[in-house]
Amino acid sequence: MSVGRIRVIGGTLRNSRIEVPDLPGLRPTTDRVRETLFNWLQPVVEGARCLDLYAGTGALGIEALSRGAASVTFVEREPGLAAALKANLARLKAPAGDVARDDAARWLQGSARPFDLVFLDPPFALDAWADTARRLEDGGWLAPRAWIYVEAPRGAVFDLPDTWLPHRQGQAGDVAYALYRRTPADPLS
């Protein structure tokens, strides 16, 4: 298995390299999209409890750690990617990152704890956006005013919870990306 590299865009780990296994279907979020996303998130990422579902390379979660997130839980089912992610976190001395080698849907059946920021970027072939969003919303995984980043193929259509309000969105090549803000169903929350 050959290895590629991507770099951390900003924060304390800026310009650090993340080693990436060469696996079919692996599609790391591009530098340009990560830079845009973290410009949007700048006021909220510091101190945030983050969840990087379908972590893949872990680039989104590692970027969050670099920019001051309190913790990131990475969920990745592919053993080679989970191992590479653990190795990258150890090499980068990022103890606030925790890797769960598990299927995201199965992991979301566990004991919920609310996250402030969730990265939802499943493999495009899974078509898992609507189901995962429902599990996050209904399962108690989101803080009352959580931020949720969604990355999908350009033109993809899927239902997201009514409590997820679009904040910002963009496109890069064949990829569409959007940042949502959760608004509690109970206006007194």
CATH number of the domain at 131, please. 3.40.50.150
Mean pLDDT of 125-135: 92
For the beta sheet containing 175-182, the strands, ordered from the edge strand earlier in sequence to the opposite edge, are: 97-100, 71-75, 49-53, 115-120, 142-153, 175-182, 164-172
pTM: 0.92
The answer on pLDDT for 62 being more than 70 is yes
Q: Is 154 exposed, middle or buried (0-12, 13-18, 19+ CB in 10 A)?
A: exposed
Considering 29-33, 70-74, 151-155, the range whose residues carry the highest mean pLDDT is 70-74
- In the prediction, which pLDDT does 2 show? 43
Contacts of 152 (CB under 8 A, 6+ apart): 124, 129, 158, 175, 176, 177
Phi, psi of 3 (to 5 degrees): -125, 135
Given this model, what pLDDT does residue 186 score? 61
Number of structural domains (the chain) is 1
> For residue 134, is it within any domain?
yes
DSSP at 153: E
Q: Is residue 9 part of a domain?
A: no
Q: Identify the domain containing residue 122 by its residue range.
A: 31-182
Across the range 46-50, mean pLDDT stands at 98
19, part of any domain: no
Q: Is the pLDDT of residue 143 over 70?
A: yes
pLDDT tens for 157-185 read 889 999 999 999 999 999 999 999 999 76
